[in-house]
Structure 1
Amino acid sequence: MSEITYVRGDATVPAARGVKVIAHVCNDMGGWGKGFVLAVSRRWPEPEAAYRAWHRARASNDFGLGALQLVRVEPYVWVANMIGQHGIRTGSKGVPVRYEAIDTALGRLGDRVIELDASVHMPRIGCGLAGGKWSRVEPLVEERLVRRGIRVTVYDHGEIPS
C-alpha cells in the first residue's frame, strides 16, 4: 500500500507528472484572504472567483461543510476548494476546523481524483488558520485517499513540523 509523501516546498507548484489536484480547506462563511489561499490566488484567480460565486449562490447549491468544488486552473492542474472550517476565528466554540467536514470532503475528492486519474497535493490541510491538528487530519487523508490508491504529497514550507 502507498503512503503520504512529505516534502519541503510549495503545494501550488506540485512536482509530479500527469493530472494534479491541489487540495485545501476553506471556511463556510465566504471568506478568502488569509493563509494558503493567498498562495493559490497569487498563481490563479479562478479558485477564489469560483469559491466566492459558489458562496453567493449557496441558497441554491451544495455550499456548506463537507462540500467540494473542483476548479481547473491549467490543462493538467485543478484546485479543490473543500469546506472544512466553520467560521474563521477561534472562540467559545473552539477552533474553526471541522474534522467530520474534512473527512466528507476528502471522500468526495477521492471519487473525483480517481475519475481524473490524478495525484493530490496539499499543505497540512486544516492545520493552519483552522487550528486543527495533523494527527487528526492525517488518518482522514490516509483513509479517504491513500487507501484508495491515490498518490498524496503533503508540502511543508520551511521547517518540517514534528
Structure 2
Amino acid sequence: MKRINYLKGDATAPQAKGVKIIVHVCNNLGGWGKGFVLAISKRWAEPEKLYRQWHRNRAKNDFELGAIQVVKVSEYIYVGNMIAQQGVKTGSNGVPIRYEAVKTCLEKIALEAEKLDASIHMPRIGCGLAGGKWQRIEPIIEETLIQKGINVFVYDFE
C-alpha cells in the first residue's frame, strides 16, 4: 500500500518525474492574496487569473464549495484550485476549512490524476490560513488519493 511521501521543500517545485498536479485550498469568496497562493502566483499567472474569472462568472458555473479547477501551467505541471474554505475568517461557524469540501475536491482531483497519470503535490492543505488540523486532513488524503494508488507528496517549506 502506498503512503504519503513527506518532503522538505517548495510544493511549487515538485520533486517527481512525469505529470504533476499541485493542489491547494481556495476560499469561496474569490479572494486570492494570502498564504500558499502567493507562491503559486510568483511562479505562474494562470491559476490566479482563471480562479478570478471562475469566481466572477460564478452565476453561470460550478464555483462553490467542493468544486475544482485544474489549470495547465507547463508541459508536465498542473495546478488544482480546490474550493474548500468558507470565507477567510474564523467566526461563529468555526475555522474557514470545510473538511467535507476537501474530501469532495480530492475525489475530483483523483479522477484528474488518473486521467493524466499524474502524481499529486501539496503543502499541508487547509492547515494555514484556513485553520484546519492535519490529523483531520491526512486521513482524507489517504481515503481519496492513496487508496486509489496515486502518488502523493506533501511539502514542508523551510
RMSD, matched Cα: 0.4
Match of 1:42 in 2: 42
1:157 Cα deviation from its structure 2 partner: 1.1
Query: What aligned pairs does 1:31-110 form with structure 2 within 5 A after superposition?
Result: 31-110=31-110
Structure 1 CA distance for aligned equivalents of residues 53 and 86 of structure 2: 18
1:29 corresponds to 2:29: yes
TM-score with structure 2 setting the length = 0.99
Structure 2 CA distance for aligned equivalents of residues 92 and 149 of structure 1: 38
Q: Which amino acid aligns with 1:41?
A: S
Match of 1:16 in 2: 16
Structure 2 CA distance for aligned equivalents of residues 120 and 82 of structure 1: 13
Q: Which amino acid aligns with 1:54?
A: W
Query: SS of 1:74's equivalent?
Result: coil
1:42 Cα deviation from its structure 2 partner: 0.2
Match of 1:130 in 2: 130
Find runs of 4+ consecutive structure 1 residues off by over 2 angstroms: none
Cα deviation, 1:76-106, whole Å, max 9, x if unaligned, reads 0000000000000111221000000000000
1:55 Cα deviation from its structure 2 partner: 0.3
Which segments of 5 or more consecutive residues in structure 1 lack a partner in the other structure? none
Structure 2 CA distance for aligned equivalents of residues 20 and 61 of structure 1: 26
